[in-house]
């Protein structure tokens, strides 16, 4: 399994008007290129169209401009993984049952899907919790399970929308470290939205800064910190501090202007 590239050229999105209002312009003139296997973070002000960008790539929205997802139009590929902001674990299914669900829907027979789901649970650090129900596990473990739910599709492109926002910093770092290991190993192209600048820098090859509405890409910052990285330790290196300052200088104008 390896990653696919992604390109957005001059992309705009309008949401339909309500009650005779003007249509609402969420994105305008968005340019973004992601190379196969790259890990890219999108940071920007709340309500600035970050989720809308992911939804265009996933093929959920009508848009203007040109979008290529591994050479195809959005919505054509089946090797996309999308982890939404809120996890989607069915409360009446065990962790194993939740992770196996996608395979079940595809008609994979029981023993095979359970073996595969167990392997993915192990990969995200949930060995021994196959029979637990979502209400019996911590928030971090539920996140790990929803990550397994997405990875079991063996995506060539992984989209993550503020995946770890609700977790405490140490739980978050631990999941991020595991995620990093998994996508680095598989070469999966990864695009994730976050409002956490430290998280963006620690995980990514590039950090893209988006604007207030209508959303567009303001800046693109190469993160030249060698891999493998320790998510927790990397933030105490001098280069990290420089990059953080450089990106914050750009982000600040967007998130503070509105306040
Ligand atoms: P972000 O993820 O950066 O917070 P979003 O992409 O979710 O921003 O939303 C951008 C803007 O578009 C917001 O002002 C939001 O209210 C609006 N919006 C999002 N989805 C819809 C929709 N389905 N219909 C109308 N407006 C929407
Ligand atoms: Mg959002």
How do residues 68-121 score in pLDDT, each as one tens digit? 999 999 999 989 999 998 878 999 999 999 999 989 999 999 999 999 999 999
CA-CA-CA-CA torsion sign (86, 91, 97, 101): negative
Give the tokens for residue 255.
């998130």
- The pLDDT tens digits of the residues spanning 214-244 come to 999 999 999 999 999 999 999 999 999 999 9
**Three-point CA angle 54, 126, 79, nearest 5°:** 30
Kindly state if the Cβ of 47 falls inside 6 Å of ligand 1: yes
Q: Distance, CA 48 to ligand 2 centroid (Å)?
A: 8
| 159 confidence band (pLDDT: 50, 70, 90) | very high
Integer Cα distance of 208 and 202 in angstroms: 14
CA of 196 to the centre of ligand 2 (A): 13
Identify any residues that bridge with 117 across adjacent strands, giving them in sequence order: none
Residue 258 has pLDDT above 60, yes or no: no
Q: How many A from CA of 172 to the centre of ligand 1? A: 26
The full 3-state SS of the chain, as one line of letters, equals CCCCCEEEEEEEEEECCCCCCCCEEEEEEEEEEECCCCEEEEECCCCCCHHHHHHHHHCCCCCEEEEEECCECCCCCCCEEEECCCCCCCCCCCHHHHHHHHHHHCCCCHHHHHHHHHHHHHHCCCCCCCCCCHHHCCHHHHHHHHHHHHHCCCCCEEEEECCCCCCCHHHHHHHHHHHHHHHHHHCCEEEEECCCHHHHHHHCCEEEEECCCCECEEEEEECCCCCCCCCCCHHHCHHHHHHHHHHHHHHHHHHHHCC
Count CB neighbours of 190 within 10 A.
27
Ligand 1 within 6 A of 140 CB? no
- Beta carbons within 8 Å of 95's beta carbon, 6+ residues apart: 89, 121, 126, 129, 130, 131, 132, 133, 134, 137, 141, 145
- Does ligand 1 have an atom closer than 6 angstroms to the CB of 49? yes
Asked if 117 contacts 100 with a C-beta cutoff of 8 angstroms, the reply is: yes
**Residue-wise pLDDT tens digits, 163-219:** 998 889 999 999 999 999 999 999 999 999 999 999 999 999 999 999 999 999 999
Average confidence score pLDDT of the chain: 94
Residue 57 has pLDDT above 70, yes or no: yes
**CA-based nearest residue to 134, from 166, 87, 198, 190:** 87
Residue 210 in contact with ligand 1 by CB distance below 6 A: no
Is the N-terminal amide bond of 214 cis, ω within 30° of 0? Answer: yes
Measured from the alpha carbon of residue 25, the closest ligand is: 1
Give yes or no for a contact between 32 and 54, defined as CB atoms under 8 angstroms apart: no
> How much distance in Å is there from the Cα of 23 to the middle of ligand 1?
12
> Quick one: which of 216, 206, 145, 130 has its CA closest to 175?
145
Does 134 contact ligand 1 (Cβ within 6 A)? no
Please report the atom of ligand 1 found closest to the CA of residue 46: 4
Ligand having the closest approach to the CA of 50: 1
Ligand 1 atom 24 nearest Cα = 15
Looking from the CA of residue 48, the nearest atom of ligand 1 is 3
């Amino acid at each position: 399994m390896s990653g696919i590239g992604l390109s957005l050229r001059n992309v705009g999105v309008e949401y339909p008007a309500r009650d005779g209002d003007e249509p609402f312009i969420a994105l305008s003139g968005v340019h973004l290129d992601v190379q196969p296997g790259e890990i890219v973070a999108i940071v920007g002000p709340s309500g600035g169209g970050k989720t809308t960008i992911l939804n265009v790539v996933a093929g959920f929205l009508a848009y203007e401009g040109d979008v290529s997802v591994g050479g195809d139009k959005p919505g054509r590929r089946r090797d996309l993984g999308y982890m939404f902001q809120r996890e989607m674990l069915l409360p009446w299914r065990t962790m194993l049952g939740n992770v196996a669900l996608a395979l079940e829907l595809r008609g994979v027979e029981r023993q095979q899907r359970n073996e595969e789901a167990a392997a993915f649970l192990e990969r995200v650090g949930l060995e021994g919790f196959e029979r637990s129900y979502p209400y019996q596990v911590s928030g971090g473990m539920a996140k790990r399970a929803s990550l397994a739910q997405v990875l079991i599709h063996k995506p060539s492109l992984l989209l993550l929308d503020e995946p770890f926002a609700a977790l405490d910093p140490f739980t978050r770092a631990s999941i991020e470290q595991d995620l990093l290991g998994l996508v680095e190993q598989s070469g999966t192209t990864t695009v994730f939205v976050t409002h956490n600048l430290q998280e963006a820098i620690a995980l990514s090859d590039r950090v893209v800064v988006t604007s207030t509405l209508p959303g567009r890409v303001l800046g693109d910052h190469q993160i030249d910190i060698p891999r493998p990285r320790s998510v927790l330790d990397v933030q105490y290196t001098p280069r990290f501090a420089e990059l953080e300052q450089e990106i914050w200088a750009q982000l600040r104008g967007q998130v503070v202007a509105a306040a």
